[in-house]
Amino acid sequence: MPAKKLLQSLALGIAAATLISCGPQKEPFKAAVEAGDVNQVRQLIREGADIGTADAQGRTPLHWAAGTGDVAMARLLIDEGAAVDAHAQGGITPLYVAAVQGDPGMARLLCDHGAEINVRDESLKDTPLHWAAFRGHDAVVRLLLDRGAEVDAANTRKATPLHVAALEGHTQIVVWLVEAGAATELGNERGTTPLQAAVANGHEEAARALINAGADVNARDELGVTALHWAAQRGDMALVELLVGEGADPGLRDSEGRTPLARAVNREHEAVAELLKRYAVGDR
């Protein structure tokens, strides 16, 4: 199963279609956990149910509880000795599930019991903070930052939590990450900065927050593209005005020799093109 589908499956608590045979208590145990039947789960454990058993996706009872958002069940399982950092397929831990779902109560419980905050999956090496930031789960991001999550953790594509928050336009998370020390100038595998990611996706407020934090408006990616190139290509008047007002240079050329004006003209964004022409001759 692809990592993202696995992640979604875990986050939603979807049961595996086929279970690994782990003894006669396996299926009743899973059903009781997912139903939130604390008394039944306690009884099954007394009868010898394996608290470390795993289903076809490698998910343990604690994963199941995290998947349903049942904090009381998760607490019972932890008290009975469940491994807080058990890894399912893809390296997914219960904390990862809580981060994807945006469940601060579950995340807090797991962190309180020693869950590894900077755990990485086996696919892109994303951390729980990456996914909470990407999904816009403010409360989980705040919790993870307060618990010491690595703010500039980069995945295999060199994207940090700030990149993904900017990409999705989650302004409050952008602000918190920067306040926690996130670097605004780190480029991903293509040299794209968080500001460029925000602008390329039309997120004006996230872009403004990054600029206010000192992001370089003239930073270039590996193809020489700036945030202003992206704003012009989108035909986004508000972002063009914001960037130029903050010192973006309309004369910078990308690796193909194109200015932001050339990109606006190519996309037939006439109003933006006229604005950039005025800026190009110094009428700011």
| pLDDT tens digits along 274-284 | 999 998 765 44
Q: Are the CB atoms for 163 and 197 separated by under 8 Å?
A: yes
Residue from 156, 153, 204 nearest 183 by CA: 153
Measured CA to CA, the distance from residue 180 to residue 194 in angstroms comes to: 15
Is 18 a residue whose pLDDT tops 50?
Answer: no
Phi/psi of residue 74, nearest 5 degrees: -60, -40
DSSP state of 22: -
Q: Are the CB atoms for 38 and 80 separated by under 8 Å?
A: no
Q: Are the CB atoms for 33 and 73 separated by under 8 Å?
A: yes
| pLDDT tens digits along 35-46 | 999 999 999 999
Tokens of 146: 């307060």
pLDDT of residue 281: 61
CA-to-CA dists, residue 209 to 23, 184, 201, angstroms: 54, 11, 15
Identify the sign of the CA torsion 52, 107, 70, 12: negative
Residue from 134, 132, 130 nearest 153 by CA: 130
| pLDDT tens digits along 108-167 | 999 999 999 999 999 999 999 999 999 999 999 999 999 999 999 999 999 999 999 999
Kindly indicate whether the domain formed by 1-150 is annotated with CATH number 1.10.540.10: no
